[in-house]
Structure 1
Amino acid sequence: MNASSEKILRLLKTRGAMTAQQLAVLLNMTSMGARQHLHHLQNEGLVSTFDRKEKVGRPSRYWQLTTTAQQHFPDRHADLTLALIDNVRELFGEEGLQQLIDKREREAEANYSRELAALPELGARLARLAELRSGEGYMAEVIEQSPGQWLLVENHCPICAAAASCRNFCRSELAIFRRCLRARVERSEYILDGARRCAYLITALPAESA
């Protein structure tokens, strides 16, 4: 892999999804040159695209890392996380690990609830939740599917190692979303089942969609 492609992967890792034009400016090359590198990376399964609506004009095409690309970035935190989970299991058993997950769930729910409580519309709550999750490293975005229905997409999972070791972390997050959004939430894509991302179908409850 050439140096420019390596730089693109690092930029997408550190800054999140970007357009070819944005990458071209940072790399001091033409947009066409950036796209050539991006298409090469796409053929290798390292990047993918999605379209995002802008305030003015047509949707813009953004490029993001795939799960495969994450292997290019060694993660010692994952090893530490797995070691800690194993130690908790050894010392306190599955019950102790569940208590740890429950505590994390309560703290996360309290934080999200504070941020979302003043937002009466589900769409606004979703947008704010996506901002909070992106700040935590999930590269989240919201895509409106139809009136009263959205897709919450998380393009990266910073707790993937922990979730793979104990899927109760994922069940905990699903429960948090349902309570904080006050909506019907169903997981439609799941990284641990082989998907590129995690995605949740969010549907307004009858009282709110009326």
Structure 2
Amino acid sequence: MNESIAGSVVTAGPAGDPSHTGVAPHHLVPAPDADSTRTRVRALVVSQGPIDAARLAAELDLTPAGVRRHLQALVAAGEIAERLVPVTGPRGRGRPPREYVATTGAQEHLPDASGELAVEALDFIAAALGEPGVATFADGRLAELEARYLTVVEAAGDDIPARARALADALTADGYAASTRRPAGELPVLQLCQGHCPVQQAAERYPELCEAETRVISRLLGVHVQRLATIAAGGHACTTSVPLGLSAPPPPSAPASIAHAT
């Protein structure tokens, strides 16, 4: 025997118990995997930020309203930050355009190879050998990385944007969440952005690690580059400006330790 209760169909149980309904109890209904989607939103903001809600929705196949709910939750959690998009011309009606970037809080959800042991080791080197010792260590640490990336970058040919994209792909494979982009304006430059720093804790204390990485990027791309921001110094990404279409002098030579590694 069936009865209608509040619009639900109630089907009698084995002993005529009407507690068994055609509608599953709330605790048995699978909930949408919000955490998984939010993780995808966070990861894309880390790797592609600054990025707006419309582009996020398109990349993740979400509705604009859906992606905004996740963005608001991530902003409230302190994992991403919202900022106004600079507008050069007249602005139309409606909500001012906004874009999103990752904060230090988002970095905590990504792989991190800069534990206390790494910092303690650098402290020991600094105490024993001073700043030159730390700089030598930083160059040596990146020697194997540079030798491995060189093959990938050289395969992209002589075109600087192509080389930068190849380097970004290689960095992403190693956990740096890297990308390339053309900044607004007419300057012939490209930006190489790394949304994650696997050695952030160590780099915050020893910027020599960032300086050595900048030199490696310059040698791999074959032009002098300029580091605009680093995560270790409080930026939302490690951003390196790469000149395009300029007659740049050759990049500095690799240290002996790196030359031997290649």
TM-score with structure 2 setting the length: 0.59
Return the index of the structure with the highest Cα Rg: 2
Partner Cα distance (1:73, 1:203) in 2: 30
Amino acid at match of 1:104: R
1:40 is aligned, of 69, 73, 78, to 73
- What does 1:35-184 correspond to in 2, within 5 Å? 35-47=68-80, 65-71=102-108, 77-89=114-126, 92-94=128-130, 96-118=133-155, 119-145=157-183, 146=186, 148-184=188-224
Name the CA shift for 1:37/1:194 in 2 (closer, same or farther; >3 Å).
Answer: same
Size of the alignment, in residue pairs?
A: 191
Amino acid at match of 1:161: Q
Higher helix share: 1
Gap runs ≥5 in structure 2 = 1-31, 49-55, 84-97, 249-262
Asked if 1 retains the 8 angstrom alpha-carbon contact of 2:41 and 2:67, the reply is: no
Root-mean-square deviation over aligned CA pairs: 3.5
Shift of 1:198: 1.4
Amino acid at match of 1:32: A
Match of 2:228 in 1: 188
Partner Cα distance (1:98, 1:188) in 2: 20
Amino acid at match of 1:138: Y
Gap runs ≥5 in structure 1 = 51-60
Match of 1:55 in 2: none
State the percentage of identical aligned residues. Answer: 26
Shift of 1:13: 6.3
Shift of 1:42: 2.3
Asked if 1 retains the 8 angstrom alpha-carbon contact of 2:227 and 2:240, the reply is: yes
SS at match of 1:191: coil
Partner Cα distance (1:144, 1:74) in 2: 27
Name the CA shift for 1:68/1:180 in 2 (closer, same or farther; >3 Å).
Answer: same
- Which stretch of structure 1 is more off in the superposition, 188-197 or 92-101? 92-101
Amino acid at match of 1:82: V
